[in-house]
Every structure is written in C-alpha cells, then in structure tokens.
C-alpha cells in the first residue's frame, strides 16, 4: 500500500496549505527551511504601515488567532517531517520585513499620508520581525517618525515594542525598546536604506 502524500495528510488533518518563502517579495527569512503555513503568513501584517486603530486592533484582538495559526504551523512541521539541510528537525523560523520592498515600493506612494498622520500626532508602526519556535512566539514593531532637515523632511524609524509569548507560561510579555515619545525629530532613529538591495 502506497504511503499518503503530504497533501493527503494535510487534507485528513485539516492542516493548512503552505507558502514558499522564497517567492515572497515583502519579507525575508532566516532559516534554511523555506515553507510556512499560508494562514500564519497571511496573519502577519508584514509589508504595510499600521495606524493606531489598526495596530491596537491587531494586538488586542488578533493575537489569539495568531497563536492558533502558529501552533498549527508547528504541527505542520512535525507531521511533515520538515528538516534543515543537516537533517535536523525544523524547530524555528524568523521572518523580517524586506527593506527594499517596504522603503522603495510601499512607502513612496504613502509618504504624504504617513507624514500627515504623524504631524497630526498619530503613531505609525510596522511589523519588523517575527519569530516562531518550540518555546515561544516573538514580534517586534517599529515606529515611523519624521525628521526635518535643511533639504526637507524624511521618514525614519525607531525600535518600539517587542511582544513575547512563551508556550509554557501562556502569557504575553511586552518590552518597550524605545521610550522616546517625539514623533518629529526623534533623538534615536535609523535611516531607511537609500538604495534597493538587488541581492536579496
């Protein structure tokens, strides 16, 4: 009798469909295993800016759904026998926002909108990285700030908050990375990349 295929196993266990991270333009990843469940990836707001309402709705009401999808991704790894290049089982992955996509394709068409929101006192954030492992889930959000110079204004960014959920405690921990409140001309900030990264 022929062994069931991965697709048949997924259907029997209602496991999610998977996405090849190598084909995603809005994220980069740190893992030699390049598959992740589609529902989990779809639930991570990479590649877009989040105003106050969207951001707080996500952390207040979507974190439970995120954990469900993260658990199902861990189950997918276990059942599919996902392995690293050295044949060890896949136990974690880290996703990052793709700087070229975000700063050179997404932000330019929204610069005016984001600048006006900041000048009105609204915080604008973006998901900078996500980690899933057998022990925890982590997310970090950065804030977009406005910097004025002699040649005009420029959008920059600052580290903001890290959220960590440990599977063994079932609790979210929040770490504020940057306590600075200034939306315009912050003292501590990072410049976006000035040239697109053609090498990935």
Instruction: Give whole-number Cα distances, 42 to 13, 37, 112, 151, 195, in Å.
Output: 20, 9, 27, 39, 28
Task: Please report the pLDDT score of residue 30 as a whole number.
Answer: 87
The vertex-150 CA angle with 149 and 155, nearest 5°, equals 25
* Six-digit token string for 84: 């690293």
* Six-digit token string for 121: 């006192």
Task: Please report the pLDDT score of residue 84 as a whole number.
Answer: 75
The pTM is what? 0.87
Closest CA to 50 of 112, 135, 143: 143
Residue 36 · residue 69 · CB < 8 Å: no
Task: Please report the pLDDT score of residue 64 as a whole number.
Answer: 96
* Six-digit token string for 51: 């105003």
Structure confidence by residue, pLDDT tens digits, 61-111: 999 999 999 999 998 888 888 887 788 888 899 999 999 999 999 999 999
Task: Please report the pLDDT score of residue 1 as a whole number.
Answer: 52
Distance of CA 58 to the CA centre of its chain: 12
pLDDT along the chain (200 residues), means of 10: 55 71 94 89 97 97 96 89 82 94 96 97 97 97 95 93 96 91 93 74
Domain ranges of the chain: 26-32+50-200
Our CA dihedral for 20, 22, 196, 112, rounded to 10 degrees, sits at 0
Residue 167 · residue 136 · CB < 8 Å: yes
Buried b (16+ CB within 10 A) or exposed e, 52-83: eeebeebbeeebeebbebbebbbebbeeeebe
Residue 32 · residue 88 · CB < 8 Å: no
């Amino acid at each position: 009798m022929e062994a069931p295929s991965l697709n048949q196993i997924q259907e029997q266990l209602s496991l999610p469909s998977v996405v090849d991270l190598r084909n995603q333009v809005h994220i980069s990843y740190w893992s030699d295993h390049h598959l992740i469940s589609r529902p989990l990836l779809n639930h991570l707001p990479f590649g877009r800016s989040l105003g106050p309402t969207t951001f707080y709705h996500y952390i207040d009401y979507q974190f439970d759904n995120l954990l469900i999808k993260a658990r199902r991704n861990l189950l997918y790894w276990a059942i599919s026998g996902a392995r690293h290049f050295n044949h060890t089982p896949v136990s974690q992955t880290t996703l990052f926002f793709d700087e070229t996509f975000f700063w050179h394709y997404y932000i330019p068409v929204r610069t005016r909108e984001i600048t006006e929101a900041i000048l009105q006192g609204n915080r604008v954030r973006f998901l900078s990285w996500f980690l899933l492992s057998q022990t925890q889930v982590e997310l970090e959000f950065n804030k977009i700030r406005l910097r004025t110079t002699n040649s005009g204004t420029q959008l920059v960014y600052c580290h903001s908050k890290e959220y960590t959920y440990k599977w063994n405690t079932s609790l979210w921990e929040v770490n504020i990375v940057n306590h600075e409140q200034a939306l315009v001309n912050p003292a501590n900030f990072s410049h976006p990349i000035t040239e697109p990264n053609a090498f990935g």
